[in-house]
A and B are shown apart, each in its own frame.
Chain A
Amino acid sequence: MKTNVTTDMPLKIAIASGKGGTGKTTVSVNLFHFIRQSWTSRVALVDCDVEEPNDLIFFPGAKLLSEKEATLPVPEIITDKCTFCRKCVEYCEFNAIVVIPPVKFAEINPSLCHSCGACLVACQDDAIIEKPYSIGKIRKYAVDEQAVIVEGLLKIGSAMQTSLIKIVKKEPVNNAEVILYDAPPGTSCPVVTTTADADYIILVTEPTPFGLHDLKLTVDLLRELEKPFGVIVNKAGLGNRDVYDYLEKEDIELIGEIPFDKKYASGYARGELLSHIPEKMENIYRQIVQDLKEKVSDYA
């Protein structure tokens, strides 16, 4: 067990799910709550679902500590210096640059640019400079002196969600002992970025054919990434037993089961997840946190 926590690296746990709407946010928010109660008060919840961040809805009393723009350096062409040689166009793999020599037109489309820097290397005439371009916001909130929530909010119309997640994850969370990453749904790049440095990953699924199908895709991904993970079955009792057969067959750890409860679901609907937790749920989450605490000490 850890004794001198201040010198330790924080433990990073990512909460992910292939399918959306399986209750990933509910689980993240509850884990945050119960980790604070029965493990450590120095915990941070980082909402990496930057397209639709929702964690904060459940903490109406949280105080805003800071807000800043998340920017990427995006190049701009200075037409006065440009010789319209089109070398930058050739270098740009993302079709973000248009240069039309006969009419002396040269422009970079910031919404297509990935900020790779290739065009700067290409240009021999010093005609390209970089300027910060906003792709969203990063907000940090305090729940109390120790526990913080960080959220990334993708600017509407920006396609740079993966880059924003990277920036969000760099936001310092003071001296947190446990950091929870609420990952976006799916199995593509943004999820890989969220889970990349996690010590352990919790997959949230539901016992339906859609839930199982998307769980399998996520499991394939995590195995390819060689990440340790376990599964929480949410809305248990709603579908069938196929997901349990799958977990057993694949030798995947079932971390816990959270029963479907319509009343609890309407609490979620109102944004009141933490004010009326049924005793049954409370016991389940406490058990999950207890198990996690023991388990992750092996991974960290």
Chain B
Amino acid sequence: MHEITLLSGKGGTGKTTIAAALASVARDAVFCDADVDAADMHLILKPEILEEHRFESNYVAKIDDDNCTRCSKCVEYCRFDAIHYKPFGGLEINPFQCEGCRLCERICPVGAIHSEKNNNNFWYVSNTRFGTLVHARMGAGEENSGKLVTEVRKKAMEIAKETGARFVITDGPPGIGCPVISALTGTHKVLMVIEPTKSGLHDIERLVDLARNFEPEMFAVINKYDINTGVTKEIEKYLEENSIQLLARIPFDTVMVEAMLHEKTIVEFKPASALSKMIKEIWENVAKTAYAEVTK
């Protein structure tokens, strides 16, 4: 079984649109939306939810005002400036600033602090017209999206193993921080969706430097390549120097947005178009290398 993770460095390069389009041509695959912070794949895949699970993330501490002697020891120890004096006496912990380290709970001389797990996060197993989708909804302002990424990926792999699916297609998170590190850990292939802008190039260099540590096979597509053919050339050169296979150069076309407005993938919306043909070729190329490795 092979996991193919779509990443982009910067957001908004068309990663999710392409992930959804690949879902509509891939056979034998389980889909995973690991962009848990701004999960959008469900807007196109229209999942019918089969299972809902709560996901407990970090702890959040709370002060019991009746027991607190206002000794201020917790304020002094909290390294995240999460404990504040209330305007009319007493102390409180700002849940958005609390890192959940529980140190205040341990040092409070009168046991006035206790912590509870945050459980504003959910993950789902759903049915879609293309196959099974594992996705999530994160509570606002939550930490630890990395752990939720790990959770949805784990579930998608399990389902792939159980059902004998050959691929997991994962829509990964933007950036290069904690959630991306979680998405890269143990994946087989990374398909980068790059926008030909100076910032797009800058971002992809940072992403490749990070991804290398995990040694996946790396592919790239340049989306909206004709927005700037000069930068596209620079990106092509960069990819070549780094032995990253460029699978397609996709032109800018408002039909991509139109398809999204109709809640369809580009392949469903304009099946005979050149864009749809490109999507199929991208998939065949990625899948081919996976099949080759399986039969090796």
Contacts and interface: CB of A to CB of B under 8 A. Distances in A.
A265 B227 contact: yes
A82 B257 CA distance: 61
Given A20-B38, A157-B181, A210-B38, 5 more contacts: A21-B12, A25-B199, A115-B79, A159-B181, A185-B175
A191 B140 CA distance: 10
12 contacts: A20-B8, A21-B195, A54-B10, A54-B203, A94-B101, A116-B79, A157-B181, A188-B145, A225-B141, A266-B228, A270-B198, A271-B197
Interface string B231-261: 1000000000000000000001010010011
Interface stretch (B26-34, B205-213, B282-290): B205-213
Contact of B43 (A209, A220, A268): A209
A266 B175 CA distance: 22
Q: For the side of the interface on B, what is the size category?
A: 35 or more
B142 interface: yes
Contacts of A75: none
Query: Which 5 A-B residue pairings sit nearest by Cβ, starting from the closest?
Result: A21-B12, A20-B11, A269-B228, A116-B101, A51-B175
Contacts of B177: 50-51, 154, 158-159, 161, 190
A276 interface: no
B102 A118 contact: yes
Interface residues of A, number: 57
A54 B202 contact: yes
A270 B79 CA distance: 42
Q: Is the interface of A mostly helix, strand, loop or mixed?
A: loop
B71 interface: no
A51 B228 contact: no
Contact of A22 (B12, B40, B196, B209): B12
Interface of A: 18-22, 25, 50-52, 54, 57, 91, 93-94, 114-118, 121, 154, 156-159, 161-162, 184-192, 196, 208-210, 213-214, 217, 220-221, 224-225, 238-240, 262, 265-266, 268-271
Contact of B9 (A22, A25, A52, A269): A52
B138 A187 contact: yes
Interface of B: 8-13, 16, 37-38, 40, 43, 58-59, 77, 79-80, 96-97, 99-103, 106-107, 138, 140-143, 145-146, 174-178, 180-181, 195-200, 202-203, 206, 209-210, 213, 227-228, 230-231, 252, 254, 257, 260-261, 263
B223 to A, nearest CB: 10
A210 B103 contact: no
A225 B11 contact: no
A221 B141 contact: yes
B197 A187 contact: no
Contacts of B97: 196
B100 A93 contact: yes
Contacts of B197: 268-271
A115 to B, nearest CB: 7
A121 B77 contact: yes
